[in-house]
Structure 1
């Protein structure tokens, strides 16, 4: 993704809001901090541990990452807990 494309993408993104599809197939808007469940051991986190994402970021390739305790993690290591 070029810098120009990344700039355009960032214009429509928020570091504090994410839209997800819940178990009832409805789109819901979530605000940070997000409650997450770790699905595989990653870094100092262990499977089934609960952590909180304080900010959402975007990589240069346009993928969302979770900012947790000062580090960025790809979303596929976590499940978002909506309740």
Structure 2
């Protein structure tokens, strides 16, 4: 992906929210901060720990990254917790 394609994709995203599909197939927008549970140990985080996502970022390869405690982690280490 070149820089122009990446810039076009990023203009439709926000670091302050993420869209998810709920268990009953509803589209829901979550705004930061939102809670996630750690699925497996990563960085300073332990399995089962509940933490707050401060920002949502995207890598050059368009992989979602959660910023937690000032550190960036790939989204697949977490389960999003919704009310």
Same fold (TM over 0.5): yes
User: What does residue range 26-45 of structure 1 map to in structure 2 within 5 Å?
Assistant: 26-45=26-45
TM-score with structure 2 setting the length: 0.96
Q: Which runs of 5+ in 2 are unaligned?
A: none
User: What does residue range 29-68 of structure 1 map to in structure 2 within 5 Å?
Assistant: 29-68=29-68
Q: Which runs of 5+ in 1 are unaligned?
A: none
| Equivalences, count | 83
Q: Provide the C-alpha distance between the structure 1 equivalents of 2:10 and 2:68, rounded to a whole number of angstroms.
A: 20
Report Cα offsets for 1:3-50 as digits up to 9, x if no partner. 111100111001111110111111111100010000001111111100
